[in-house]
Each structure stands twice: as structure tokens, then as C-alpha cells.
Structure 1
Amino acid sequence: MKVTSIARRALVRAGAAFSVVALLVAAPAGAGATPAGPTGPLASEVEELLAEHPGGVQVSDNAVAWLGGRILVVMPSPGEAVAPKGLGANVRYPRARAAGLAEPADAAEVRDVHGCPSGTTKKDNYCFYENRDWGGSRWQFADTCGDEASDWGFSAKTSSWVNTDTDKTIIAYAGSSRLWDEPENSGSKYVGDAHNDKMTRWDCRKD
């Protein structure tokens, strides 16, 4: 899969308004340089993800971003069942800035629904979760309307979801079969046995 094809598909389906991912404000000016390769306790997982889905950048111990932060995966720290809010631990500020991201200094400023940025701080977000009860890795999308889950490493790996978008319904599919709808400002802690780990793509309807 080539970077150009990924970017083209995501940008074609993106919403008209461009904005950065939620939870984010300007980073400290004095942040130091970041090593070139993946680092931290999830380095091997990050390296594998980037090898399979090029064009991303590690922005913390837990997170990888693509397309200027419009697409983000946040992985749980070792021993944890749920991905952290925001970008997670040890944000790589130079890389986060370059990717259009930065982390708020005060975690109390963060508004989210099970880690998915809420409309009070950033509109047009929806998230898919690897496990039920919003557990496992979180794939977070801002200002996009549809894509193939395989482009971002989670085809047939979704068990729960949140949609904090204010004017968009997300529609999940397994191939051509419609699985579920995600109305604006809603979520599901489990998609059900019949639909678990089945989603391969999604589309959207503007409300």
C-alpha cells in the first residue's frame, strides 16, 4: 500500500473544514529533539505499524499520527487495558508540532468520551476501539467521512465505538453488508456478537 493512495483516499473523503485533532494546544517552545526511530515501551508495535502503513509519525509512547493529525491511533501502555486519553505518555513535542499536534499542559482541560475527543473542544471526531467497553487501541478520526479500516491497521478489529461529531452519522460495513449506524453524539460499548470484529470499512451521512 503506497502512501499516496492512502492520502488520496482519506483527503477525498475528508470534510470541507480542516482542523487539528482535539485535545491540542501549542507545545512548549523549548522541547528537545526526538530520536529518528520508534522509541519507548511500544517501539516494536509502532515500528510494525509504520512498516505496514507508511507515512505516519510516532508522536508519543502510545500514539502514531497520519495526515496532519487527522488520523491517530493510540495504543494502551504495557499492562493497561485501555488506551490513554490524548496522546498518551512522553509526547514527542517536535514531532507532534510537525504533525499538527500538541498536548495540553493541563489534563483537566481535556474533554472526551471514553478517550474520543468531545465536541466541546473539537468537533467532527469519531473513534473505533479494538475491544469491548472502549478497551484496547483507539483509532481516532477528525474531519474525515469514510475509509477502509485496512488502510490504518484495524480491518475486522472493532468491538466498540464513539461518535462525538455534531452533524455526521457514521455507517459501518463488512464489505457491502451494513453492520451498524453511529448517530452523532453517541457510542456503543459493544457492537454485539453478530458484528464483533467484522467491520472492514465505513462511510458517513451528513445530518
Structure 2
Amino acid sequence: MVSLFGAIALCLATLTQANAAEVTDELQQEINDVLAKTEGGVQISQNEIAWNGGEVIMAFPLPGETHAPVSSSAAQRLQSKVSGLPLDTVEDVAPEPVEPEEYEEPVGAMATDSCPTQTFGNDWYCFYQYKDFGGRRLQWSAAYNHYVYFSSYDFENRTSSWSNKGGKVIGVYGRTVTGSDLSCTNDLWYEQPHSRSASASPDNQADCFTTS
């Protein structure tokens, strides 16, 4: 016979499992929504989507977290491949802490920059959904002499912080006509090599970018 305390403990455990499953389901639903709104994406881990064999990777915060973690082992294999490195190359470091004095605006105490490090080549650049490098992370390493549209990754008007860890200059632009990628010619900001901002300005207006 199950005691009263045992029954309570069992009930609490069941509720905890149900809550955990609900949180995990919410993350999967976010991923499903992005996959449904874009083309060519493949889920490569619990919290990551890759396009073009790892040329582009979107990482989501894990359940209960506010920042996307360092790339998973699956993502690191793809990063190694696109960087021309051995597939067992590993980035086993914590997200890089951010020093407030690096920015024009204050940075939260918990802000971290999880854009891939030079372990995978010194060319990675990332866009983040929220200020202080929070929320989803969308990352590239390749050069583009044409516009790359955030709408292809369900990320238009979502960039609130960014990190450019490579040697490229990243030009970021917004649309002059709502809903028209062809009008993405309005200069917003330029990311100099090896720079980053925990507070993009203007916020939530980036629609495309080029590199040089």
C-alpha cells in the first residue's frame, strides 16, 4: 500500500515530468515553426537548425535558459567541415564573457557571447535575437558579395545584438518597403572586424547583410 507521503511524492514527480516535457515541447514547437517558415533547414540537435550543410546555423536557448549555449557537438562537426578542419575539432570552452567597457551601452552582468571562436577559423559572425547576446543565435562564416536575407531564416526584424569575430566588415541593412526583401537597401550599421555590440542600434530592424 502506498503511503500518503509516497502518493504525494509520486504526484509531484509526475507534475515535474509533465512540466519539463511541456517546456521541451515549447522549444520543439519554436524549431518546428522556423522549419515550416523556411526552406532547406535540418534540425541537427535538440536546439539547433542548420542550412546548407552548416553554412548557416541557428541555435535556440535550452529550456530554462535565456542564452543559446556554445555549439553542440553536431554543430561543431559542421563548423569544422565548412572551415576545412578535422571533423573532430572541439570547442570545449564556455561562452566568452563580455566586458562592459567594450560597449557604448551597459551590458548585463550575465551577458555572454557564444559565437564560435577561432577554434573553427577566425571568420565567424553572429546575430542575436535579444540584447546582451540573448535568445536565438544565427551564425555564418562565409563571405557574401550579395545580400543575404534574414527572412530566409525567419529572423527579419529580430536582431538586437551581434558579434563579428572575424576579419570581414559586415554591412547590415533594413527594408525601405515593409515586407519587400528587394527594398533591403537602407543602411543600419557596419560591423568592423573583431567587434561586437550587446545592443544593436537601431533595434529589431535588420533585414539583410553583405560582407566585404
| Interval containing the TM-score (normalised by the shorter chain) | 0.5 to 0.7
Q: Decide which of 191, 195, 204 is 1:197's aligned counterpart.
A: 204
| 1:1-207 equivalent positions in 2, closer than 5 A | 41=25, 42-87=27-72, 91=74, 107-108=92-93, 114-145=113-144, 146-166=147-167, 168-175=168-175, 176-192=185-201, 195-205=202-212
Q: Report the RMSD for the aligned CA atoms in angstroms.
A: 2.9
1:44/1:133 CA distance change after superposition, 3 Å: same
Contact 2:69 2:95 in 1 (8 A): no
Structure 1: 4+ residue segments shifted above 4 A: 99-106, 109-113
SS class of match (2:118): coil
Letter in 2 for 1:116: C
1:106/1:169 CA distance change after superposition, 3 Å: closer
Structure 2 length normalisation: TM-score?
0.65
Task: Say which one has the larger Rg.
Answer: 2
Structure 1 length normalisation: TM-score?
0.67
Structure 2: gaps (5+ residues): 1-23, 98-111, 176-184
Contact 1:134 1:189 in 2 (8 A): yes
More helix by share: 2
Structure 1: gaps (5+ residues): 1-39
The aligned length equals 158
Instruction: Quote the offset at 1:87 in angstroms.
Output: 2.5
Instruction: Quote the offset at 1:52 in angstroms.
Output: 1.0
CA distance in 1, matches of 2:204, 2:96: 28
Letter in 1 for 2:203: N
Letter in 2 for 1:190: S
Q: Identity, % of aligned pairs?
A: 30
Instruction: Quote the offset at 1:120 in angstroms.
Output: 4.3
SS class of match (2:189): strand
1:48/1:186 CA distance change after superposition, 3 Å: same
